[in-house]
Structure 1
């Protein structure tokens, strides 16, 4: 649920709850107000009736003293108003607990109307004595009406006394309920505000703390998993993913730095193993030409091989080469070694031509073949065998270097696979086996591309299995022709 949805859902619910309670209070007070209005309307009707009777008697008296058309109309109007009051009082019969008193009250109003009409008729016939008698009877009836009105008021007040007490009780109850509703609404509002605030501020505060730790260089902090479905949960998950990516990028940068460091170390070791290599390379060319002029063909070939070997070692090691270049370099090295061992060592090379375009780090195969000579078959006087196989698979290229020499123990084998440093006296070429394996791993981006099978006295088999990527292939250009 998003934060916007929470606000649009819970705040209207709180308002609806408040309005519902307010409506309940209004409805509770409505019944009390209706009862009060009924009582007051009855009392006011009784009072208005008495005033109408008094006004009718005064108008009738004025007419009898000085009869004229205007006063006659006033009397008729007063009697008509009295008739309307009579009808209103008669409507109070239904549901009234003092119906007999009301019936008597209505009859007296009817009587005073009749007496008033009789007095007017007698006055119109010039029967003044009869008109005066009817007026006196009307006055006595008016007195009875006043007494009856007071009685009705007393009865109404007595009958509505419990209602009045109920009204007071309900008023006190409404006051307490209103106070309770105010407290509950306040607490609910505070709880809702705290809940929404915590659902927003707590994750934000945590993210701010994590960001502060990352700014200090501490990448081991773990942001919350962000299980909520709102915007802050999405932000927390994105932040966690960004931190993971940052760690991955830093690890890759470390690998690149380590690779560059290895390359620099290799260059340094290569330079340390040479005495002014450019001067030596040029001197070898001179010696090769001199041996050729003197007719020493084998010596000339050996010097040419040495020259090629040094020339290959002088190239920049941070640039990749092809497997074909490495194979040519290995063949040059083997030609030099065979001059030393003659028929003591038998070397076989089997290479799939379609695999020779594979890019790889420079100076990779020659150190492994050199280890086969130096640490494998160096103590054998005859029947020494070294084999180099290069095979192409659908998605991989497999390079295998095998010798039937003295082999190695399990501890040495495991130390090489774990890329641990080997004794310095075992690195005759100055380019350690550990560096070769590590460079292969960094170059191809795959862990453990090398496997070693070896036992003491049973020879050694080193297998390198690297991925084949078609986009890495290009037209072959011999190393000697590159600029």
Structure 2
């Protein structure tokens, strides 16, 4: 459960608990207030009926004395008000203990109203003192109404007294529960706040310590592992990914620096062989023209091939070239070597033109061919065959250099492929014209394409050797551009 969901659950629960206690206390007080209001309204109604009954008697007396229209109007108004109170009392629902008394009280009130009407009718007749008997009855009924009102009030108070006591006890209990819940809520809130602070603060401190160590250069530190599936686990996993990305970037930077160092070393080696290149080119061109004038066409062609070979070897080594240039350079190199070995060797090519546009590091094929001449076929008297093949597939371009020479042992094959280790045998011999070894070529290829499966070698003693280079097809390679070639 993440922190946000946990807060959304716990805080509303505490809020609901507090509101529940407050509601129960409020409801208890409201019940007491409603009961009190009901009783007080009924007592006030009894009091109003009693007072209105006496006011009606006084109004009858006043009208008997002066017989004026004004006193008659006052009497009628008081009678109407008493009827209204009678209707209110009739609508009241009496409690069980006062039902009999309330019924008697209602009948007496009805009787008083009827007797009052008789008095008013008698006062309107011509017979003297005709109202006396009706007035006496009304006066007597009014006295009974007053006594019954006091009795009803006593019964109402007696009935509600235990209810009030019970409600007061319940209210007291709810007050104690309210205090207990308040204390419990306070304690839970404090504990919950402390737990939340630990849950949030501890992972943050661990992540801060990890970030400080990473910023200090310690990329081997283990980021904190969060057990809960929450935001901090996501943040910890992000730290792990960031750390892995930093390691990958550092590794790529190291590889780039290694490649730059290798290129600088190669450039230095080439520089050592650059003895006034313009003088050499001019001299070779003069020799070529002189041989042509003397009729030595083969010597002229060989001199031109040597000039082209030298010019190609003096290129910048940090710039890639199309595979087409490497193939042409390999043909020039073989032309020179064939002048040395003559009919002892044969150079065969199987070139797929669609695969010649891929980019490769400069001087990729010549060192491999040199290794073939130096170590594979130099000792053969005849029948030596060197084959250069280029094949295009949907995913890659395959370049193979094969020979039918002496072959090599498994130890030497492994040493050539694992170029970071010391080799039991040098892969370059005397007369190496470029100063570049096959292991150096393999390493440059893997650095250039940022892949570890670029080269494979098939060989066994006495059965020749095949070097296969797999170059990613255009659009599929992830070429690492050296620092010296960035703009």
Using structure 1 for the length normalisation, give the TM-score: 0.74
Contact 1:270 1:431 in 2 (8 A): no
Q: 1:481 maps to what in 2? A: none
Instruction: Give, in whole Å, the separation in 2 of the partners of 1:150 and 1:369.
Output: 133
Q: Taking structure 1 as reference, are residues 225 and 455 closer, same or farther at Cα in structure 2, changes over 3 Å only?
A: farther
Mapping of 1:241-256 within 5 angstroms? 251-256=251-256
Q: 1:455 and 2:460 equivalent?
A: yes
Q: 2:349 maps to what in 1? A: 350
Instruction: Give, in whole Å, the separation in 2 of the partners of 1:353 and 1:57.
Output: 135
Tell me, what secondary structure is at the counterpart of 2:148? helix
Instruction: Give, in whole Å, the separation in 1 of the partners of 2:372 and 2:77.
Output: 142
Contact 1:372 1:386 in 2 (8 A): no
Contact 1:63 1:75 in 2 (8 A): yes
Instruction: Give, in whole Å, the separation in 1 of the partners of 2:329 and 2:124.
Output: 156
Q: 1:387 maps to what in 2? A: 386
Pairs aligned (count): 469
Tell me, what secondary structure is at the counterpart of 1:38? helix
Q: 2:402 maps to what in 1? A: 402
- Which of 428, 434, 443 aligns to 2:439? It is 434
Tell me, what secondary structure is at the counterpart of 1:451? strand
Q: Structure 2: which 5+ residue stretches go unaligned? A: 478-487
For residues 331-384 of structure 1, give each alpha carbon's deviation from its aligned partner in whole angstroms, at most 9, with x where no partner exists: 3333443444455x3232223262545543221111111111222234x25236
Contact 2:116 2:138 in 1 (8 A): yes
Q: 1:477 maps to what in 2? A: none
Q: 1:36 maps to what in 2? A: 36
Q: 2:484 maps to what in 1? A: none
Q: 1:49 and 2:49 equivalent?
A: yes
For residues 255-294 of structure 1, give each alpha carbon's deviation from its aligned partner in whole angstroms, at most 9, with x where no partner exists: 4443333222211122234545444444444555566677
Q: Taking structure 1 as reference, are residues 223 and 330 closer, same or farther at Cα in structure 2, changes over 3 Å only?
A: farther
Q: 2:371 maps to what in 1? A: 371
Q: Taking structure 1 as reference, are residues 358 and 108 closer, same or farther at Cα in structure 2, changes over 3 Å only?
A: closer
> For structure 1, which segment, 196-205 or 106-115, has the greater mean C-alpha deviation from structure 2 after superposition?
196-205
Q: 1:59 and 2:62 equivalent?
A: no
Q: Structure 1: which 5+ residue stretches go unaligned? A: 473-483
Contact 1:291 1:297 in 2 (8 A): yes
Q: 2:418 maps to what in 1? A: 418
Mapping of 1:187-226 within 5 angstroms? none
- How far did residue 178 of structure 1 move? 5.2
Q: 1:97 maps to what in 2? A: 97
Q: 1:71 and 2:67 equivalent?
A: no
Q: Taking structure 1 as reference, are residues 127 and 233 closer, same or farther at Cα in structure 2, changes over 3 Å only?
A: farther
Instruction: Give, in whole Å, the separation in 1 of the partners of 2:108 and 2:320.
Output: 130
Q: 1:264 maps to what in 2? A: 264
- How far did residue 436 of structure 1 move? 0.7
For residues 292-327 of structure 1, give each alpha carbon's deviation from its aligned partner in whole angstroms, at most 9, with x where no partner exists: 677777666555444333222112222333444333
Q: 2:483 maps to what in 1? A: none
Tell me, what secondary structure is at the counterpart of 1:97? helix
Instruction: Give, in whole Å, the separation in 2 of the partners of 1:109 and 1:290.
Output: 157
- How far did residue 161 of structure 1 move? 1.4
Tell me, what secondary structure is at the counterpart of 1:391? strand
Contact 1:385 1:404 in 2 (8 A): yes
Instruction: Give, in whole Å, the separation in 1 of the partners of 2:228 and 2:178.
Output: 41
Q: What RMSD over aligned residues (CA atoms) do the two structures have, in Å? A: 4.9
Contact 1:451 1:463 in 2 (8 A): yes
Instruction: Give, in whole Å, the separation in 1 of the partners of 2:452 and 2:61.
Output: 129
Q: Taking structure 1 as reference, are residues 305 and 49 closer, same or farther at Cα in structure 2, changes over 3 Å only?
A: closer
Q: Taking structure 1 as reference, are residues 225 and 382 closer, same or farther at Cα in structure 2, changes over 3 Å only?
A: farther
Q: 1:153 maps to what in 2? A: 153
For residues 91-135 of structure 1, give each alpha carbon's deviation from its aligned partner in whole angstroms, at most 9, with x where no partner exists: 446654323322333344345445555656666668777766765
Contact 2:321 2:361 in 1 (8 A): yes
Contact 1:90 1:103 in 2 (8 A): no
Tell me, what secondary structure is at the counterpart of 2:470? strand
- How far did residue 431 of structure 1 move? 0.7
Instruction: Give, in whole Å, the separation in 2 of the partners of 1:372 and 1:168.
Output: 111
Using structure 2 for the length normalisation, give the TM-score: 0.74
Instruction: Give, in whole Å, the separation in 1 of the partners of 2:315 and 2:211.
Output: 46
Q: Taking structure 1 as reference, are residues 297 and 87 closer, same or farther at Cα in structure 2, changes over 3 Å only?
A: closer
> For structure 1, which segment, 120-129 or 52-61, has the greater mean C-alpha deviation from structure 2 after superposition?
120-129
Contact 2:223 2:239 in 1 (8 A): no
Instruction: Give, in whole Å, the separation in 2 of the partners of 1:419 and 1:178.
Output: 82
Contact 2:367 2:437 in 1 (8 A): yes
Q: Taking structure 1 as reference, are residues 101 and 383 closer, same or farther at Cα in structure 2, changes over 3 Å only?
A: same
Instruction: Give, in whole Å, the separation in 2 of the partners of 1:325 and 1:73.
Output: 134
Contact 2:351 2:390 in 1 (8 A): yes
Contact 1:225 1:240 in 2 (8 A): no
- How far did residue 203 of structure 1 move? 8.9
Instruction: Give, in whole Å, the separation in 2 of the partners of 1:56 and 1:138.
Output: 10
